[in-house]
A = this chain, B = another copy of it.
């Protein structure tokens, strides 16, 4: 691929992210993206075979930019299970607002587009693994709440952290990012950590 083509590809991806971050997921049609990139609608299809693939490519670019991997290091090296839980929730609470636009677009597409659904599920599976690591650390410390298996605890934690829940709490309930972090951390501790609840 020549330099020109790579540049056009970049322009398209950047415009996609711009539109997604602008908020209204209904204004991120292929024609909107093309217009924003200053390119014909067909040029977009020359670079990306479908809307789903374009959005997936955009999320990879976004992850690169936001340095997701580096952030997670803080959580993994936080010592005790309790501390790892806190660090993980903090990391997640800081990450979510940054990917909100992209996430919303995917959530809207997941119902109808199988390809988008599988890309999204893959990413959520990664989050689940992070949840599981935290739960196992708690278990190793003897701090996992009684009555919870590792699977059940992971499922609960993962569900608590779901993007839909974040959406509901910040949009419908009007929570700030700070409130989300504080209350969700407290809720996760109450549910998962022995002797922490209420």
Chain A residues packing against B (C-beta within 8 Å): 25-26, 107-108, 111-112, 145-148, 151-152, 155-156, 158-160, 162, 164-165, 168-169, 173, 175, 179, 183, 186-187, 189-198
Q: Are the C-beta atoms of A168 and B173 separated by less than 8 Å?
A: no
Interface of A is mostly: helix
- Bound form: Cα–Cα A165–B108 in Å: 16
Q: Which of B151, B173, B195 contacts A197 (CB 8 A)?
A: B195
Q: Shortest distance in angstroms between A4's beta carbon and chain B's nearest beta carbon?
A: 36
Q: Are the C-beta atoms of B164 and A197 separated by less than 8 Å?
A: no
25 of the cross-chain contacts (CB-CB < 8 Å) are: A107-B111, A108-B112, A145-B190, A145-B197, A146-B198, A148-B183, A151-B173, A152-B179, A156-B183, A158-B173, A159-B168, A159-B173, A162-B164, A162-B165, A164-B164, A164-B165, A165-B165, A186-B191, A190-B190, A190-B191, A190-B197, A193-B198, A194-B198, A195-B198, A197-B197
Closest to A147 in B: B186
Instruction: Quickly give the copy total for this chain.
Output: 2
Q: Shortest distance in angstroms between A105's beta carbon and chain B's nearest beta carbon?
A: 10
Q: Quick one: given A165-B165, A168-B159, are A190 and B183 in contact (CB under 8 Å)?
A: no
With a cutoff of 8 Å between Cβ atoms, the chain B residues found around residue A165 in the complex are: 159, 162, 164-165
Q: Shortest distance in angstroms between A83's beta carbon and chain B's nearest beta carbon?
A: 16
Q: Which of B25, B155, B196 contacts A169 (CB 8 A)?
A: B155
